[in-house]
């Protein structure tokens, strides 16, 4: 089987060639992202393998379908960049529901610690032999309140990490569980949290859930963490909140308009995105370029699961990680039947 692999990075080649070569897969690696202009590169391939910034809208799906592609294999958990509804009846879609929730949760805590203890500023100073402590005063996490939005695997691991620091943990999830966590309303979470961390998927319901109104309801000096999807936060409202001194700090591993910026070396270019440039220029903002997933363990798990998804689909006709629109439960319909969606 031949797989067209889009938005390729060197670390992708290493992990996927190691897993795919032993399973009879041939990868055609393309550095370009998948979109309407590049979909023709997949002509004659059995499947495409895509990442979070590839565009898999209705037009792209139609072109892939016309080219004979039978499967879209996401090498990510999120699928907001795929028109799953339009794919139904044409091309099957699979994803990687979990690869290393520890990687993302640990990165969120790394960002938080870096921010509140001014590690990034101290690092830059001491590289120039400036050992002054002026302006580096942070605050204890112990006994602070952290609000975690989203109680999936990553969110629950992040709550465990926070509890290890002696923090009080509040959780919001649209489907609360009887799992020992303290579930509260969004209003209560906003008003009581010293730190707020986002660990939920991007849907129409959650898009811009952190907006001007939400920020108004937060405590002055709140620290915002986002390692999920950029569009969960209205970046304009975030910048306004920072300038108004309402937001004490923001730690972002994702950004709403990251597709043409993140994962690339832009150091020799003028930044066209004024909003991102202004955010990065703020002394209380830390931005990493969607690297929370980037651990050796996670890369291996992503490759292994993606390859297994592809092989299982073509050999057995059924893949437990298929995303389907038929029954309305895109991720969980696999629990209701054991055959292909169409």
Q: Give the residue numbers annotated as catalytic, written as ranges.
A: 229, 258, 290
- Which residues, in sequence order, are bridge partners of residue 14? none
Distance between CA 33 and CA 14 in Å, rounded? 19
Sheet containing strand 2-5, edge to edge, reads: 26-29, 2-5, 47-50, 71-74, 92-94, 322-323
Count of CB atoms within 10 A of residue 11's CB?
12
Distance between CA 117 and CA 141 in Å, rounded? 10
CA torsion sign for 289, 106, 154, 6 is positive
């Amino acid at each position: 089987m031949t797989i067209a692999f889009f938005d390729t990075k060197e670390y992708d080649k290493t992990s996927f060639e190691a897993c795919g070569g032993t399973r009879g897969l041939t990868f055609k690696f393309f550095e370009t992202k998948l979109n309407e202009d590049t979909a023709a590169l997949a002509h004659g391939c059995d499947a495409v393998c895509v990442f979070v910034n590839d565009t898999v809208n209705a037009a792209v799906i139609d072109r892939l379908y016309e080219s004979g592609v039978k499967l879209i294999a996401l090498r990510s958990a999120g699928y907001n960049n795929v028109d799953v509804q339009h794919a139904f009846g044409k091309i099957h879609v699979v994803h990687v529901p979990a690869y290393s929730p520890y990687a993302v949760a640990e990165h969120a805590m790394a960002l938080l610690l870096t921010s509140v203890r001014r590690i990034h500023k101290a690092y830059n100073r001491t590289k120039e032999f400036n050992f002054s402590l002026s302006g580096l005063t942070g605050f204890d996490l112990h006994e602070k309140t952290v609000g975690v939005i989203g109680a999936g695997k990553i969110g629950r691991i992040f709550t465990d990490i926070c509890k290890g620091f002696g923090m009080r943990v509040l959780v919001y999830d649209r489907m609360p569980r009887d799992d020992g966590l303290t579930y509260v309303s969004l209003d209560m979470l906003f008003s009581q949290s010293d730190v707020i961390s986002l660990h939920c998927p991007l849907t129409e319901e959650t898009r811009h859930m952190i907006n001007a109104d939400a920020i108004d309801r937060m405590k002055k000096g709140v620290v915002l963490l986002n390692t999920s999807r950029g569009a969960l936060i209205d970046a304009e409202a975030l910048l306004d909140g920072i300038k108004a001194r309402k937001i004490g700090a923001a730690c972002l591993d994702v950004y709403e308009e990251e597709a043409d910026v993140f994962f690339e070396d832009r150091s020799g270019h003028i930044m066209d995105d004024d909003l991102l440039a202004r955010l990065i220029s703020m002394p209380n903002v830390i931005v990493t370029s969607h690297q929370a997933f980037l651990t050796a363990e996670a890369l291996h798990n992503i490759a292994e699961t993606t390859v297994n998804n592809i092989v299982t689909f073509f050999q057995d006709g059924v893949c437990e990680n298929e995303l389907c629109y038929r029954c309305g439960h895109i991720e969980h319909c696999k629990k209701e039947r054991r055959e292909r969606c169409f």
